[in-house]
Amino acid sequence: MCGFTGIMDIRGRRDIDTRIVQHMSDLLTHRGPDGSGQFDTPGIALGHRRLAILDVAGGQQPMFNETGSVAVVYNGEIYNFLDLAQELIARGHRFQTRCDTEVVVHAWEEWGEACVDRFRGMFAFAIWDSVAEVLFLARDRVGEKPLYYSVTGDGFFLFASELRAVVAGLPNAPVMDAEAIEDYFALGYVPDPKSIYAGIYKLPPAHTLRVSRAQGLSQPRRYWDVRFADQPRRLSETCAELLERLQAAVQMRLISDVPLGAFLSGGVDSSGIVAFMAQASSLPVKTCSIGFDNPDFDESAYATMIAQRYKTDHLCEIVRIDACDLIDRLAIAYSEPFADSSALPTYLLSAIARKRVTVALSGDGGDEVFAGYRRYVFEHRQGQIRKLLPQGLSRPAFGMLSAIYPKLDWAPRALRAKATFEALAADPVAGYFRSVALMPTPLRQRLFSGDFKAQLRGYSALEVLRCHGDRAGTTDPVAQSQYIDLQTWLPGGMLTKVDRASMANSLEVRTPFLDHELIEWAASLSVDLKIRGSAGKYVLKKALEPHLPAQTLYRTKQGFSLPLKAWFEGSLHQRLRDALDGPSLRDSAIFDMTFLKGLVAQNASGMHNHSRILWALVMFDAFLRQRKVDVLPHRKTMAEAAAQ
């Protein structure tokens, strides 16, 4: 796993100040502590930081073809690189290394932009073809690896693996994007293709980007999409095929020239991955987990049970999370506001794993691919209820019920029907938005100041989900929700969390459930194979019954939940007060500070639990503080620097 940077002069062949590229690359040292490389020629410069995984001695980057006319900087793993290398050798290409990076170079020579269709893995890369004078960038199908870019007013194209590196290369401090701020407080992250800064973009998953001196900057091009279908299948045959496909996905992710292990939480997904790793290995699998000193949030006993069953070399550390200390570390690692509190234990788990291995497999993606989240079950039920009434009657009827039913946040879940009625009164995408939103739209509108709402001009983060919902190609509420998650939450939330937390600790994480061929196959399964009764991942659990105990398969899903409410009453109380009283939030002119203080008072009273909102606020404050360090110093333009 690595990090890379680059600058290209779109307008001509002006010299690039290599000191700028070097500084950008230095900010990615955590992604690649094992080495660095740089290439520059009039009009373009590339920088690279390497975390050596394959061909440790021979895989330095930038990497070139035989003539030196094609150069690549690359981050990721292409798991079918051995097969591709054999095919390319048969076509006359000569290889100098044993690493997958060189496959990218020769694949570009052989297939051009269509090379991405041949790759099976996680990747982001930039290829410079000096003969065609084309810079070609690509990102993997689901967005496991990040890629940011920007264009300056004087015609320089900048790109990097992380946002901080792009910001460091800009001539002036970027301004925050108002729509991205709305997205963040609605979703808890900034979705592709936006970043928190206007004018800096993320290349979306499954997209390529072409920059040429002849034609300039193209629009990002989608090269892959998933399509959901409802193909009836027998359960027994489906389980057998699922195991075969998952085993193959695990097997191809075991190739490594450095120590390799796995995250083991004790849940279904990570336990299944460890089971197949153990069956494929002659040596004990190195597994890592963390436990918490609070037993209400600790599931390490379940991880230990799986470790004992498969005789893994298991390490479990009981940790006490110092949220105040980690908040500022996360603000640096993520470069833009990120509100998923499970980033804290993910960061700590990555640090523990890095003590023993350089590569770790994880169970991430199982919930998105096989419909494991509770919200999918709710969407399925709501879809069935909507069918009982004509659309012209259902919305008014449920709208009336939502209006008269009291809001009982403090009551048991069974009595909190108001949100359900509100979701049923909305269309499916709007209803799903309600289920995933960090806070309801009316509350979010009160959060912002009048001036900031004027900047938004009526924009709502709901538009993000609507855009993807329209592309889903299905009206089934579960399939549509899965598609939306694959385009938004998965790359913007889950995979961002794992990539930044792991790479901050120089650890590579591989995710078998996100193998694109497995995703395509799972998308063809009917909903009744994914959801039965009140539980999701039905077919996955049935398939894993011979490999995992029922206690693992059928216990209540827990995940990396944290005691946020207790923290805000204790260790985070002062940090929250400092955020409210300090200049960062107040001077941003984004918030209605009186309303913010009212939220804190409501949370403290116990009648409303606003802890997720307050956590998002604290993380935004941490981002603003770090921004003063990373962004605000003024820099000269590249043209001025090159002229000196």
CATH number of the domain at 513, please.
Answer: 3.40.50.620
| pLDDT tens sequence across 499-524 | 999 999 999 999 999 999 999 999 99
Spatial separation of the C-alpha atoms in residues 633 and 203, rounded to whole Å: 26
Which residue is associated with the tokens 């309600």? 434
Same-domain status, 218 and 239: no
The one-letter amino acid code at 389 reads L
2 is catalytic: yes
Same-domain status, 73 and 194: yes
Candidates 35, 17, 100, 112; CA nearest to 70 is: 112
Looking at residue 69, its pLDDT comes to 96
Does the pTM surpass 0.85? The reply is yes
Same-domain status, 63 and 208: yes
Whole-angstrom CA distances from 601 to 567, 577, 608 are: 15, 11, 9
- DSSP-derived secondary structure letter, 525: B
Average pLDDT over residues 471-475: 92
- Given a cut of 90, whether residue 325 has pLDDT beyond it is no
Contacts by 625-632 with C-beta closer than 8 Å and gap 24+?
625/328, 625/331, 625/584, 626/328, 626/331, 626/332, 630/164, 630/167, 630/168, 630/335, 631/167, 631/173, 631/174, 632/173
Confidence of residue 321 (pLDDT cuts 50, 70, 90): confident
How long, in residues, is the chain?
A: 644
Spatial separation of the C-alpha atoms in residues 293 and 434, rounded to whole Å: 33
Same-domain status, 440 and 526: no
Query: What are the residues facing 71 on neighbouring strands?
Result: 64, 128
How far does CA 419 lie from the centroid of its chain? 28
Residue 158 lies in a domain: yes
Same-domain status, 37 and 74: yes
| pLDDT tens sequence across 223-233 | 999 999 888 88
Residue 637 lies in a domain: no
Give the up-direction half-sphere exposure of residue 35: CA atoms within 13 A in the CB hemisphere.
14
Give the number of domains in the chain. 4
Q: Examine the fold and report which residue of 429, 453, 486 is the final residue of a domain before the chain moves on.
A: 486
Residue 635 lies in a domain: no
Whole-angstrom CA distances from 185 to 496, 542, 591 are: 17, 38, 11
Residue 643 lies in a domain: no
Looking at residue 414, its pLDDT comes to 43
Same-domain status, 248 and 352: yes
Residue 577 lies in a domain: yes
CATH number for the domain harbouring residue 52: 3.60.20.10
Q: Which of 2, 99, 239, 316 is catalytic?
A: 2
Residue 638 lies in a domain: no
Whole-angstrom CA distances from 92 to 87, 131, 368 are: 9, 20, 41
Spatial separation of the C-alpha atoms in residues 628 and 165, rounded to whole Å: 15
Same-domain status, 482 and 499: no
Spatial separation of the C-alpha atoms in residues 140 and 255, rounded to whole Å: 19
Please return the burial class of 143, using the count of CB atoms within 10 Å of its CB with bins 0-12, 13-18 and 19+: buried
If one counts every other C-beta atom within 10 angstroms of the C-beta of residue 72, the result is: 27
Same-domain status, 100 and 145: yes
Residue 559 lies in a domain: no
Range of the domain at 361: 235-371+494-553
Q: Examine the fold and report which residue of 201, 224, 247 is the final residue of a domain before the chain moves on.
A: 224
Spatial separation of the C-alpha atoms in residues 364 and 284, rounded to whole Å: 22
Spatial separation of the C-alpha atoms in residues 142 and 153, rounded to whole Å: 31
| pLDDT tens sequence across 521-571 | 999 999 999 999 889 999 999 999 999 999 999 987 766 667 888 888 888
Looking at residue 576, its pLDDT comes to 92
Q: Examine the fold and report which residue of 486, 510, 530 is the final residue of a domain before the chain moves on.
A: 486
Three-state SS letters, 78-145 = ECCHHHHHHHHHHCCCCCCCCCHHHHHHHHHHHHHHHHHHHCCEEEEEEEEECCCCEEEEEECCCCCC
If one counts every other C-beta atom within 10 angstroms of the C-beta of residue 219, the result is: 7
- DSSP-derived secondary structure letter, 491: I
Task: Tell which wins on pLDDT, 431 or 269.
Answer: 269
Same-domain status, 287 and 398: no
Same-domain status, 210 and 243: no
Looking at residue 253, its pLDDT comes to 97
Confidence of residue 421 (pLDDT cuts 50, 70, 90): low
Looking at residue 633, its pLDDT comes to 57
Average pLDDT over residues 272-286: 96
| pLDDT tens sequence across 197-228 | 999 999 999 999 999 998 999 999 999 999 99
The two structure tokens encoding residue 307: 């470790």
Same-domain status, 367 and 380: no
Same-domain status, 443 and 467: yes
Give the SS3 label for residue 532: strand
Asked if residues 258 and 52 have their Cβ atoms less than 8 Å apart, the reply is yes
